[in-house]
């Protein structure tokens, strides 16, 4: 069973029930049911009823992948104004802004229909921050994404200050407690992230051989898990001896860490090779001296395997 309370057609409260558990979310934030469910249900419904009377607001909806959302958060000074309402259509969008631009409230709008073009809803102007077709068009230029994004905004990013992620002590304690419950050796482990939306998967045998090689050298191995929120993943990855990942939006979140990071590009369905647009050499906030990039379109898998394992 699922219940939604909507604001301009966007889910504000979501209740998901299965035989095993019940989860309730208000603006993308999960609350414990036992003590707070009824209170947050009524508050959310009152909130939705009140804000329906708001008019003449500019509502921007983030509809892109995690990596682009990190860039939007980092460059918010170029496009955001306090009179806007910002929604994300994935829970990760709210997490990312809480990390990299905590002064901007971003509300999770769930599975709301993606606004393909600007539209008027209840007297409010609703538009995607960057539509899917606009993102494809920007990447079709073959230039670094940050450069194309700045041109789209008609802005100069050369003197822009970029914030680092803000992680609370509570988030770090929670991340480390979860890792210890999984019996992860926090003193010597490597973080593996083999899944990406933007790149085709590498053969499972590649990751099996990576794991076997690492364990043979005395490392423990952690595979990225949905048990950890994005801030918790960041807090845990900070303790890793290395990060090995297929190029994904999570790499954009972690790229500022002073941890050796081995990033692999593979085929993208829209553009073939993403490296010219999304290489970390083009992002000024990346800890470039810690990042090693490989491309499965130009290098064979055994060569990439040997290059990565030779560092560890």
Q: What is the mean pLDDT of residues 222-250?
A: 96
CA separation for the pair 27, 76 (Å, rounded): 20
Question: DSSP states of 174-242 as a string?
Answer: HHHHHHHHTT--TTSEEEEE---SSSPPPPHHHHHHHHHHHHHTT-EEEE--TTS-HHHHHHHHTT-SE
Label residue 88 exposed, middle or buried (CB < 10 Å: 0-12, 13-18, 19+): buried
Q: Which residues contact 187 (CB under 8 A, 6 or more apart)?
A: none
Average pLDDT over residues 134-160: 93
Closest CA to 308 of 210, 187, 192, 191: 210
**Contact call for residues 52 and 7 (beta carbons, < 8 A):** yes
Q: Mean of the per-residue pLDDT values for the chain?
A: 87
CB 247 within 8 A of CB 276: no
Q: What is the CATH number of domain 169-309?
A: 3.40.50.2000
Residue ranges per structural domain of the chain: 2-153, 169-309
Highest-confidence segment of 102-116, 155-169, 179-193 = 179-193
Instruction: Please state, for a pLDDT cut of 90, what percent of the chain lies above it.
Output: 64
pTM equals: 0.85
Q: Can you tell me the mean pLDDT for 174-197?
A: 96
């Amino acid at each position: 069973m699922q219940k939604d309370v909507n604001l301009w057609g966007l889910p504000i409260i979501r209740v998901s029930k299965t035989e095993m558990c019940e989860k309730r979310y208000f603006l993308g934030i999960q609350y414990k049911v036992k003590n707070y469910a009824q209170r947050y249900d009524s508050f959310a419904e009152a909130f939705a009823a009140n804000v329906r009377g708001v008019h003449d607001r500019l509502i921007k909806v983030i509809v892109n992948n995690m990596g682009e959302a990190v860039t939007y958060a980092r460059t918010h000074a170029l496009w955001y104004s306090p009179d806007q309402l910002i929604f994300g259509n994935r829970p990760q969008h709210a997490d990312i802004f809480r990390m990299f631009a905590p002064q901007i409230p971003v509300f999770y709008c769930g599975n709301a229909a993606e606004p393909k073009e600007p539209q008027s809803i209840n007297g409010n102007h609703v538009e995607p921050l960057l539509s899917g077709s606009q993102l494809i068009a920007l990447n079709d230029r073959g230039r670094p994404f940050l450069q194309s994004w700045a041109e789209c905004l008609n802005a100069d990013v050369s003197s822009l200050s970029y914030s680092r992620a803000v992680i609370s002590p509570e988030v770090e304690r929670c991340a480390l407690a979860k890792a210890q419950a999984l019996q992860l050796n926090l003193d010597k482990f490597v973080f593996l992230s083999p899944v990406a939306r933007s790149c085709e998967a590498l053969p499972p045998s590649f990751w099996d051989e990576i794991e076997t090689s690492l364990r043979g050298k005395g490392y423990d191995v952690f595979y990225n898990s949905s048990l950890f929120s994005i801030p918790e993943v960041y807090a845990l990855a900070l303790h890793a001896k290395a990060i090995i990942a297929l190029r994904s939006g999570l790499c954009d979140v972690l790229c500022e860490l002073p941890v050796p990071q081995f990033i692999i590009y593979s085929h993208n369905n829209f553009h073939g090779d993403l490296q010219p647009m999304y290489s970390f050499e083009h992002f000024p906030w990346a800890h470039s001296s810690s990042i090693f990039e490989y491309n499965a379109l130009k290098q064979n898998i055994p060569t990439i395997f040997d290059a990565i394992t030779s560092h560890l």
